[in-house]
Amino acid sequence: MTPEEIRTLHDYNFWTHRRVWACIEQLTDEQFTQHSDYSIGSIRNHVVHVMSVDERWFARLQGVEFPERLIPEAFPNRADVRAKWDTIEASMRAYLGRVTEAELSETIHYDIPHRGGMMHDPRWQILVHVVNHGTDHRAQILSLLHALGAPTTEQDLTFYLWE
């Protein structure tokens, strides 16, 4: 994959996160943090999970200090979550703006203890995984939004490309 193709996928990911966020903004903070037995809990928990995973993958890709996992309870309302997400997104965009084709083909070596130790993946595959992971959790969030009677949105890549 080329840097431009990776950036397109991530631009789609950011665009779709913002579309789903517009639906989340229709909730109260109480609905946002309301417990659900589905998957990893509340809508807030899903959003914080995605932010945390994205932040950690991008730290790994850049070889910088690996951040602690974000704790949902540290984000009691939508405004706190949005502020943190904007910071993470800006950092991701900065990295994506400078990644080179040669770097995309480099193998990243990292440890995932619960998966049996060292993993070895090309950087481009990790970057595609981040987008796929976001799609998975947005689908879960959209289901939770629907259950709360909130509006939902399409998240297909085609809709992004048509715009």
For residue 15, how many other CB atoms are within 10 A of its CB?
14
Categorise residue 42: left if φ over 0, alpha if ψ from -120 to 50, beta otherwise: beta
Point out which residues pair with 108 in neighbouring strands: 121
Determine the structural domain holding residue 63 and report its residue range.
Answer: 3-162
- Distance between CA 163 and CA 1 in Å, rounded? 22
- Distance between CA 97 and CA 90 in Å, rounded? 10
Residue 56 contacts residue 66 (beta carbons within 8 Å)? yes
Domain of residue 111, CATH code: 1.20.120.450
**10 contact partners, CB below 8 Å, separation of at least 6:** 92, 93, 96, 127, 130, 131
pLDDT number for residue 87: 97
- Per the structure, how many domains does the chain have? 1
pLDDT number for residue 39: 83
Regions of the chain where pLDDT drops below 50: none
Closest CA to 81 of 38, 57, 53, 49: 49
